[in-house]
Amino acid sequence: MIIRNADIFGKVSDILISGELIIQIAAAGALSGRLAGEHEMDAGGRTVLPGLIDPHVHLRCPGMEMKEDWATGARAALAGGVTTVIDMPNTKPATETASALDLKRAAASKTDAAGYPLGRLFWVGCSPDTLGELPGLLGEMDVAGVKLFFSESSGNNSSSDRAFVKAVFGAAADAGKPAAVHTELAELLELSAGVGLPELAMHGLRRPQSAAEAGTALVLELAAETGCIAYLCHMSTAAEFEMVRSHKARYGAESVIAELSPHHLLLNENHQVIGGPQSWAKVNPPLRTAGDNCAALRALLDGTVDLIGSDHAPHLLSEKDGRNAGGFHGCPSGFPGLETELGAVAGFLKEQSAEWRDLVSMLTNHNPARIFGLEDRCGIAEGKRADLVILDGPKIVDSGNFKTKAAYSPFNGMELQVSVYKTILRGKIIEQ
């Protein structure tokens, strides 16, 4: 196949693909002689980026297929330009044992059967009962690392017991794989605070910044003690970014991995959801303040943030609309993110920086590829896997048309300045 007139970081080029691989990149028009009988597609001068590697998704299987499965999750990923995902362990059963990992692999193979062989790795979980399984799990090729929750969020096991966390970090250090943490500390949550405040502000008080920050401080301390590479999930507060900035200054840029989710960059507690209730924007950690959004942008521009994770966390629309589930309080936290992350982040950065394409590809492809050993799909170059996304112009988010089963979004109705024109997965154009 050939993709003509694709703008690769400012150079309009033709990309020749054979099987799953990019085999040649040349100036536009230079490959015209080679083409008899080949498929071709004209990108019309549009920007092409390497396919996104999303290190933080909840595809819910096994056990919660009603919320998402790997066929719908993969279609959502590809609609959003995401060609590799790393799935979270809070499924049923939790991915904490060899047999549970096998169940997850079987669930994930549904994406191949559906004709969308999405790239994937898995985070494994761990609890005090399953600690003995961890070294074996971390030795598996398709395991990205271990993920801990310091508090309950969506049916996950949680613990922030110091000796337990230290043992988990030690096992991660031995395996040379990251230990990821959702850092909000259970004992610092104030689950009945903020009565009478607007809903998102109230949720923010109930799961206060201090809970995330104290957990982040604990992670950084234990990472330094054990020598493990800590991975901070969805950082959300100005103080957390500052902590990571100083940790990196002291221990090196690669001593800790900082993840940012698009909603913590772009949305805050004053957000008004369009076309749905405020509960569509309920998430843990909560949307914070406008000041935290600014701190997130600064951290993203100065390299404190390493990568973008969507935290794609689908729930049933009936749970999220607050009618069946006891309103805002009763509904679960989380929303789908695969279909909006590229548009949200690239669209926003395009307005901030002339270097937006390099920045986006650093945060969504180069850094995750380096961190998780996915060099085969890092960047756009000869010999790399042909996982690509071709960008288009502004588009209004319509969550009613999502490919995910979770047809709602806090970004619904918002115009994002970048959208996805086509995604190419392993050399095949995905028709949606």
Q: Which residues bind Zn ion (CB under 5 A)?
A: 182, 233, 311
DSSP for 251-315 reads H-TTSEEEEE-HHHHH--TT---SSS-GGGG--SSPP--HHHHHHHHHHHHTT---EE---B---
Q: Is 334 in the site for ligand DOR (CB under 6 A)?
A: yes
**Please, what is the minimum distance in Å from the beta carbon of residue 277 to ligand DOR?**
16
The verdict on 313 binding ligand DOR (CB under 6 A) reads yes
Which pair of tokens denotes residue 121? 């790795």
Q: How far apart, in whole angstroms, are the C-alpha atoms of residue 123 and residue 135?
A: 13
> What's the farthest any 2 CA atoms get from each other in the chain?
70
Q: Which does 308 bind (CB under 5 to 8 A by kind): ligand DOR, Zn ion, none?
A: none
Is residue 158 close enough to count as binding ligand DOR by CB under 6 A?
no
Shorter beta-carbon distance to Zn ion: residue 208 or 427: 208
Nearer to ligand DOR by Cβ, of 29 and 155: the residue is 155
Determine which residue in the list 13, 226, 304, 333 makes contact with ligand DOR, applying CB under 6 A: 333
Which of ligand DOR, Zn ion, none lies near 333, with the C-beta cut-off 5 to 8 A by kind? Answer: ligand DOR
Does the footprint of ligand DOR cover residue 90 (CB under 6 A)? yes
Rg (CA), the chain: 21
Nearer to ligand DOR, 335 or 372 (CB): 335
Q: Which amino acids are annotated catalytic? A: 311
Which residues, 6+ apart, have CB-to-CB distance to 13 below 8 Å? Answer: 5, 6, 7, 25, 26, 27, 28
x/- mask, ligand DOR, residues 278-297, rule CB under 6 A, reads: -----xx-------------
Q: Pick from 56, 182, 320, 384: which binds ligand DOR (CB under 6 A)? A: 182
Residues forming beta bridges with residue 54, ordered by sequence position: 85
Would you say 347 and 417 are in contact if contact means Cβ atoms under 8 Å apart?
yes
- Dihedral sign (CA 179, 181, 186, 188): positive
By CB under 6 A, the count of residues binding ligand DOR is 11
Pair 424, 43: CB distance under 8 Å: no
> Which of 4, 58, 247, 320: binder of ligand DOR (CB under 6 A)?
58
Cα separation, 323 vs 77, whole angstroms:
28
If the CB atoms of residues 88 and 118 are measured against ligand DOR, the closer one turns out to be 88
Q: Minimum distance between the CB of residue 182 and ligand DOR, rounded to whole angstroms?
A: 5
Nearer to Zn ion, 86 or 233 (CB): 233
Specify which residues 25 forms β-bridges with: 15
283 binds, among ligand DOR, Zn ion, none (CB under 5 to 8 A by kind): ligand DOR
Distances (CA, A) of 266 to 186, 276, 305, 401: 26, 18, 15, 22
Instruction: In angstroms, give the least distance from the CB of 310 to Zn ion.
Output: 9
Tallying the residues shown for the chain, one arrives at 432
Nearer to ligand DOR, 320 or 357 (CB): 320
Chain center to CA of 252: 24
Choose one: 74-82, 192-200, 271-279, 330-338; the region binding ligand DOR (CB under 6 A).
Answer: 330-338
In angstroms, give the least distance from the CB of 3 to ligand DOR: 36
**Which entry of Zn ion, ligand DOR, none binds 75, CB below 5 to 8 A by partner kind?**
none
User: Smaller CB distance to ligand DOR: residue 57 or 300?
Assistant: 57
Residue 328 CB burial class (10 angstroms; 0-12, 13-18, ≥19): middle
341 neighbors 310 (Cβ within 8 angstroms): yes
Which residue among 154, 157, 159, 353 contacts ligand DOR (CB under 6 A)? Answer: 154
Residues that bind ligand DOR (CB under 6 A): 58, 90, 153-154, 182, 283-284, 313, 332-334
